[in-house]
Amino acid sequence: MTEKTWSPTSRPTVSASYAFPAMVAVRLLVALVQPFDLIHDHQLSSPLTSYRNLQEGIHLFRNGIDPYSGGVFRHSPLYLSLFSTLIPKSKTFSAVLWTLCDALGAYALVHIWRARQGLGKHAHSTRDELVAGAYLFNPYLFLPSVALSTSSFENMLALLALMFASQKKQSKALLALSFLLHTSLSSLVLLAPVLLLLLSDPHSHLASPRAFSGDLKRLPSLMAEFLLYFSFLAVASCLASGGITWVSQTWGASLTLPDLTPNTGLWWYFFTEMFDHFRPFFLMVFSVHLLIYTAPVCIKFQYDLLYASFVLFGILGIFKAYPTLSDPGLFITMHVLFPEVYPYLRYPIVTALLHLHASLLMPLFHNLWLAQGTGNANFFYASTLVFACANGAAVIDALWAGLRIALGEEKEGWVIAQE
């Protein structure tokens, strides 16, 4: 396998240095103009990330009512303290804030790319603009951000954690990770790969697998540091919200699924149809099923943990409790970090066509059900199944390609078989 190198240039060309601000400016413009009213769209924000619910919680909080006593507000107390103190409750300001948060996410993605290529922090590569563009202009990430879904914050935190981990900035990475876990409990899946990434290196070893090279003895201390930050934030949350009711309302929600508002994931319809006496069992199955992928993926890709976390993002996008479009969106965008596997993707055209069908079917069936009234919930559910198939196909493609690349180019007369 001849590795293609991405030429580092110490100084960016003039056009390149303007590309990133220009892209952010375009995004900002769209966010400010708000061409469509997307805030109420079920596909772009879940009950856990909805801007409307956030506003309601802040309103209750400011009026001295515990926002977690009702069944509406399910955001972390960290959001509550952030938005009720520092940040004004204006929609224009929010549009700017959400765009900046996406810009930061794109910045983190570019730095992950540079770290993976072994370029210095300030070295520019020829692909930087493509990487940033893939994050800023992916419709699955772009639309939830325009709809002011807090999933944009979660994506940014996840990318920041990965960026710091790739740059070996232990404390920052762990702090970002504990913020991420506070805002979205399902991201627990990412704990192992980020810790292991801190112990190894972010470079591509996909073509030459080897045993895990890092020093596992440091793991307990990393874990301890993480727990320290995490419990500090938990205490801060308790202080901010004045109690511990937030635990069951925020983390508990992604485990017990109290709100069955439709979304793009697989949970809501399943538990709408479920008889009550089976509910706890299947809640356990669904939650454990999500976590169970961590170990095999991390073991298989122990030589390239950035790739492991990439695959786990894909799994989160399919099986998470309250997903929005930005969860699979992040996985799709992250493909840009791994150009070396492109030639080995298994059935990219099939996956792309499935995604094309799903991305047209979901808004259509959502509309047939809830606006036109000619369809029913089964229509939308069927389209989310197509979407899940598309995401599943993408994860399988990524897994296959990540493993297949180690075997090199196909030789005439030889076939690779999976045992």
DSSP for 127-192, written as a single string:
THHHHHHHHHT-HHHHHHHHTT-THHHHHHHHHHHHHHHHTT-HHHHHHHHHHHHHH-GGGGGGHH
What is the C-alpha to C-alpha distance for residues 128 and 312, in angstroms, rounded to an integer? 24
What is the C-alpha to C-alpha distance for residues 419 and 409, in angstroms, rounded to an integer? 19
* Contact call for residues 290 and 315 (beta carbons, < 8 A): yes
Binding mask 306-345 for another protein (x = CB under 8 A): -------------------------------------x--
Does 375 bind another protein (CB under 8 A)? Our answer is yes
* Contact call for residues 234 and 294 (beta carbons, < 8 A): no
3-state secondary structure (DSSP) of residue 367: helix
What is the C-alpha to C-alpha distance for residues 389 and 392, in angstroms, rounded to an integer? 5
Does 26 bind another protein (CB under 8 A)? Our answer is no
Does 361 bind another protein (CB under 8 A)? Our answer is yes
Choosing from 2, 15, 63, 372, the residue that interacts with another protein (CB under 8 A) is 372
Does 86 bind another protein (CB under 8 A)? Our answer is no
Q: Name the residue nearer to another protein (CB basis): 27 or 355.
A: 355
φ, ψ of residue 369 in degrees (nearest 5): -75, -55
Stretch that binds another protein, among 37-45, 243-251, 372-380, 397-405 (CB under 8 A): 372-380
To the nearest whole angstrom, how small is the minimum distance from the Cβ of residue 349 to another protein? 6
Does 33 bind another protein (CB under 8 A)? Our answer is no
Stretch that binds another protein, among 23-31, 92-100, 220-228, 361-369 (CB under 8 A): 361-369
Beta-bridged to residue 9, according to DSSP, are 124
Q: Name the residue nearer to another protein (CB basis): 140 or 365.
A: 365
To the nearest whole angstrom, how small is the minimum distance from the Cβ of residue 59 to another protein? 25
Q: Name the residue nearer to another protein (CB basis): 29 or 356.
A: 356
Does 292 bind another protein (CB under 8 A)? Our answer is no
Stretch that binds another protein, among 77-85, 150-158, 241-249, 370-378 (CB under 8 A): 370-378
> Cα dihedral sign for 251, 256, 261, 264?
positive
Q: Name the residue nearer to another protein (CB basis): 220 or 373.
A: 373
What is the C-alpha to C-alpha distance for residues 80 and 73, in angstroms, rounded to an integer? 10
* Contact call for residues 195 and 222 (beta carbons, < 8 A): yes
**Residues at the interface with another protein (CB under 8 A):** 343, 349, 353, 356-357, 360-361, 364-365, 368, 371-376, 379, 415, 417, 419
